[in-house]
Structure 1
Amino acid sequence: MKASLKLFLILAGILICQPVFSQENGPGLKEMFNDAFYIGTAISYRQASGEEQAAWPLLEKHFNSITSENMMKWGPIHPEPGRYNFVSADQFVELGKKLNAFIIGHTLVWHQQTPKWVYQNEQGELLGKEALLERMEKHIETLAGRYKGQVHGWDVVNEVFEDDGSYRESEWYQITGRDYIIKAFQKAHEIDPGAELYYNDYNLWKPEKREAAIALAHELRERGLRIDGIGMQGHYMLDSPPVELIEASIIAISNAGFKVMVTELDMDVLPRPRASEGADLNKNYALDEKFNPYKDGLPKEIKDKFAKRYAEIFSVFYKHRDKIDRVTLWGLHDGASWLNNWPVRGRTNYPLLFDRDFKVKEELIQSISPSKF
């Protein structure tokens, strides 16, 4: 055998035997950001139950915080008067313990996914203020009480403001005014004084809405109530909102004396109908194929734009790691994302860091590495 050929085969063998570095065998997200903030994800029913077995390696490697996506909302966990369904919520909490994760309960009070019976008496008439507040407090006592000392933080009240900073005219507000917010924080702290308590909302990059949330948080503290932080839902798009507005809200909330949580982070890569900015579940449309252009995968141009956008946003998060306590993605992988069905039902979306086959999006993960900032 010629010496040159022999040398070539030896070198080839060495290269073949060497493992190729990739994010599959590289550091996980929680390791990448271990000096910055918790990295969290929303947990689905199938992931909590263990049915989605491929989820476990990703959860174990990448995340040190988890949030219940739907299983602790009023409708799923308390569907009828006097009846609770704790099976999935129990599984979620046990999963968090196995992961040694910071566990977030979501959410105690919200205008969506709350059954109509909550606001009504046995005759179907609207409850009075005191009766509704009593019903809400009993719900919080039962739910937060069951997981006392196990859930580390609660989204106590969710999405009470319109984008202009005015109060949402929900049934809660129509019947009780703002008292339901005050009573919810009061009761949550009474039931589990060791848990952190948050207000959570979308589009807090809008100054009017952000300032309304800060004013509410100040008022709660002035009343002697516990509120630890404000959750900025990160339901972003490829070209909106500007990162400068996201950064301005991080700074404003922190300067006001509250922890910042980036919650429900995802990136919608698909075109939307008009008037569907944010996360208002009432704005939902039937499938129109013009809003579902990438059924067979993203073109390179969109992939590149997607990675660049995530990198810009994470660079802001890392810059302000002294202010941000947690960054939580809203779903583990593309197939589990709510954005496949909002604001247009039945679409194929690609908003997260892992694809439908539970594979790491290599270039995307590498682009958000702190070493790149």
Structure 2
Amino acid sequence: MNFFYLRNSLILFFSFAISFAQNENFLVGSTLIHRELKSNYANLFLKDFKYLTAMNAAKQSNINPTNGSWKWDQIDNFVQFSNDNKLLFRLHSPIGPQCSKWIKDDARTPDELMASLNEFLFRLLDRYKDFENIKWIDVVNETILASGKWLGSKPGNTKWENPWLDIGLDENGYPLYIIRAFELADKYAPNKKLVYNQNGGMQIPMWNKLKETVLYLKSKGYRVDGIGWQGHLMNNKGLKQFVENLDEELKKLSDLIDWAHSNKLEFHITELDYYNDGENNAFNSVKKQAEVYQKLMNLLQEKSKNGLVTVNFWSMGERKSYRGKKGYYMSIYDNDTIPTKTYEVVKKFININK
């Protein structure tokens, strides 16, 4: 055989092998809302994606809205949709602030809260443990404030709060609800990857607390397979800073991903979108969103050389704000399901998974 032909063939083979390995480590997906399962957004999703997250269907507030009531229809529909279409599925069912008003009731005792946590996670995980296409479970979410302090409860039942912290702390100051959630997830879903998800920006005290907590859980024998960052860009002060000081903030994100991979953890961006508050400035434009996503996706693809990185768009199209805000969240399609400039930017990264 010709030496140069053999050499070139080997080069092509190893180049393909490296490329394939990198592609396997970089996964791009999107979220659908339950009502979108029978809409054009579902068709657009299936055209491009193989990785799905249900927005709110698997949260405790949706499944267990009142004491003693259980509603599985929405998340069952999602699991069936993902199974029918051979999709990888993320079970976004974290213990955290998105819980029922009856859980937030100030009269709840620590014992009652723990009993509710135990029942919810057992029922959920036992129901879906045998679905092989469910690859990840968000076990806890939004547990830490930007200051590095634990997010706790507040008076009443209508605020953004985390009543689960009232269950208490262990002897080393770590929340019992977090420890118990990972213990149950490992016990009842041993074949799923378990993720510790977090909101906010790149605030150092917050991420230091998360790192300490993850390492503590692992030191106690509890399994944590990955960490997640929501990525609701421009949503608040810290997330505006991410966009306004993009290169500096991307460096912090890069360091965070490196930390995850060095500790044998996957890294997930779980809820990526871009908030437009309606003001007339350079940051509130699809053009700026596309520029930010370009740099962000470049970084994520590069980091996937060292370990798994996933990114999930938090909806396919525009989404109205909540909590009295006047703006809206942008993704990759507009309200008429027309792809935006941002879609054109991320399309090449989406195509990696095909």
Q: Which TM class, normalised by the smaller chain length?
A: 0.7 to 0.9
Amino acid paired to 2:36: Q
Aligned to 1:258, which of 246, 253, 265? 265
Note if 1:55 corresponds to 2:34: no
- Distance 1:38-1:149 versus aligned 2 partners, 3 A rule: farther
Residue 221 of structure 1 aligns to a residue whose secondary structure is helix
Shift of 1:187: 0.9
Residue 167 of structure 1 aligns to a residue whose secondary structure is coil
- Distance 1:299-1:108 versus aligned 2 partners, 3 A rule: closer
Shift of 1:370: 5.5
Aligned to 2:331, which of 348, 352, 356? 352
CA distance in 2, matches of 1:304, 1:218: 39
Amino acid paired to 2:48: H
2:237 equivalent in structure 1: none
Indicate the RMSD between aligned Cα atoms, in angstroms.
2.6
- Distance 1:303-1:109 versus aligned 2 partners, 3 A rule: closer
Residue 193 of structure 1 aligns to a residue whose secondary structure is coil
CA distance in 2, matches of 1:321, 1:365: 21
Amino acid paired to 2:34: Y
Aligned to 1:38, which of 27, 30, 33? 27
Q: Which runs of 5+ in 2 are unaligned?
A: 1-19, 154-162, 170-174, 235-242
Note if 1:80 corresponds to 2:66: yes
Shift of 1:175: 3.1
Q: Provide the aligned length of Structure 1 versus Structure 2.
A: 302
2:14 equivalent in structure 1: none
CA distance in 1, matches of 2:30, 2:57: 14
Residue 152 of structure 1 aligns to a residue whose secondary structure is strand
Amino acid paired to 2:108: L
Residue 42 of structure 1 aligns to a residue whose secondary structure is strand
- Distance 1:209-1:256 versus aligned 2 partners, 3 A rule: farther
Shift of 1:239: 2.3
CA distance in 2, matches of 1:38, 1:100: 15
Q: Give runs of aligned pairs for residues 189-268 of structure 1, distance below 5 A.
A: 189-203=186-200, 205-237=202-234, 238-239=243-244, 242-268=249-275
Note if 1:105 corresponds to 2:72: no
CA distance in 2, matches of 1:329, 1:230: 17
CA contact (8 A) 1:65 1:101 kept: yes
Listed one character per residue, the Cα deviations across residues 175-226 of structure 1 (whole Å, up to 9, x for unaligned) are: 3231111011111121121111111011252222112111111111111111
- Distance 1:370-1:196 versus aligned 2 partners, 3 A rule: closer
What TM-score, normalized by structure 1, do the two folds share? 0.74
Amino acid paired to 2:309: D
- Distance 1:316-1:132 versus aligned 2 partners, 3 A rule: same
- Distance 1:147-1:370 versus aligned 2 partners, 3 A rule: closer
1:21 equivalent in structure 2: none
Residue 330 of structure 2 aligns to a residue whose secondary structure is coil
Aligned to 2:125, which of 144, 149, 154? 144
Note if 1:341 corresponds to 2:321: yes
Q: Which sits farther off after the overlay, 252-261 or 228-237?
A: 252-261
Listed one character per residue, the Cα deviations across residues 282-325 of structure 1 (whole Å, up to 9, x for unaligned) are: xxxxxxxxxx247xxx9999333222111111111111113343
- Distance 1:172-1:35 versus aligned 2 partners, 3 A rule: closer
CA distance in 2, matches of 1:221, 1:80: 34
- Distance 1:307-1:92 versus aligned 2 partners, 3 A rule: same
- Distance 1:300-1:153 versus aligned 2 partners, 3 A rule: closer
Identical pairs, percent: 23
Q: Which runs of 5+ in 1 are unaligned?
A: 1-30, 271-291
Residue 332 of structure 1 aligns to a residue whose secondary structure is coil
Amino acid paired to 1:365: Y
